[in-house]
Amino acid sequence: MNSPTNSERPATPGRLRDLIFRGQDIYAGLAPDPTKVDMQGWGSDHGIFAYCIERLQPKLIIEVGSWKGRSAINMARAMQDFGMDGEILCIDTWLGSPEHWLADGAVEAWRSSLGIVHGYPTLYNTFLNNVVASQCQRIITPLPLPSESAFFVLQRLGVKAPIIYIDAGHEYESVSRDIALYWQLLAPDGVMILDDYITFPGVTRAATEFALREGIPLIGEPGKAVLTRNASLSITTKIIVDE
């Protein structure tokens, strides 16, 4: 990243980013470095995102777990394609999850993606560069906090969102807590999308227990699941996740 771009426009009034960053332009002075664009992700282009965005026309999407930004950028592009002007709040520590720190062998790249320098990951730089290179900085707002802390910030700000994507820690305890906390921020007709249903047993157990406790349908396939009180959406998303 070297010279300023036209991304340095003032923040748009009424956006969450103005409340959180108090008018500071977080992208000021950033220009993309094409040699460092790295869009690796997992299931980040699934059709469920564009489907829910088109149906719900959200002004705000909350993503819990963003990594290099691929899923957020994919959702931002869907919003652009549908001519929508919304915001995607990306919550992440950008410090990685246990599976990234422990990765070796065929998936050692997950570990090296953390970009550990002096014992501390620099993954956030990859995320920022990808967002700017994709020209999605108008839509994407990062919030670099642990998911639990970010929840309390958003709760205090009275935030509700029609789409919440949960893709942070995949251990049972972590994902149970994220589902339960962020469910409180979901708009009444909204949808919570869960990543790594079936593929991570902790996610499957957490999602199943939550759905049973709340008495709501859980619709999923290996890789993605949705939780929603919106009856029409729960029927139609079945078509998408079954594709």
Ligand X SMILES: C[S@@+](CC[C@H](N)C(=O)[O-])C[C@H]1O[C@@H](n2cnc3c(N)ncnc32)[C@H](O)[C@@H]1O
In the region spanning residues 70 to 109, those forming contacts with ligand X, defined by CB under 6 A, are 70-71, 91-97
Q: Label the pairing between strands 140-143 and 161-166.
A: unpaired
How many beta carbons lie within 10 A of that of residue 124, not counting itself? 18
Q: How far is the CB of 100 from ligand X (least distance, A)?
A: 7
The residue assigned the tokens 């282009």 is 45
CB 213 within 8 A of CB 222: no
CB closer to ligand X out of 147 and 229: 147
Of 63-71, 181-189, 209-217, 222-230, the window that binds ligand X (rule: CB under 6 A) is 63-71
Torsion of CA 211, 217, 222, 225, to 10 degrees: -80
Q: How far is the CB of 160 from ligand X (least distance, A)?
A: 20
The encoded tokens of residue 89 equal 């709040």
Strands (E), 70-223: 87-91, 140-143, 161-166, 186-195, 218-221
The sign of the torsion formed by the CA atoms of 204, 166, 162, 156 equals: positive
Q: Label the pairing between strands 224-228 and 218-221.
A: antiparallel
CB closer to ligand X out of 65 and 190: 65
Q: Which residue is nearest to ligand X (CB)?
A: 41
Binding status of residue 151 toward ligand X by CB under 6 A? no
Binding mask 35-54 for ligand X (x = CB under 6 A): ------xx-x----------
CB closer to ligand X out of 133 and 229: 133
The SS3 call for residue 150 is helix
Residues 150 and 156: their CA atoms lie apart, in Å, by 10
CB closer to ligand X out of 167 and 229: 167
CB closer to ligand X out of 11 and 159: 159
Q: How far is the CB of 235 from ligand X (least distance, A)?
A: 26
CB 195 within 8 A of CB 166: yes
Out of 32, 86, 142, 169, the only residue in the binding site for ligand X (CB under 6 A) is 169
Of 8-16, 62-70, 199-207, 223-231, the window that binds ligand X (rule: CB under 6 A) is 62-70
Q: Which spans of this chain sit near ligand X (rule: CB under 6 A)?
A: 41-42, 44, 65-68, 70-71, 91-97, 146-147, 167-169, 174
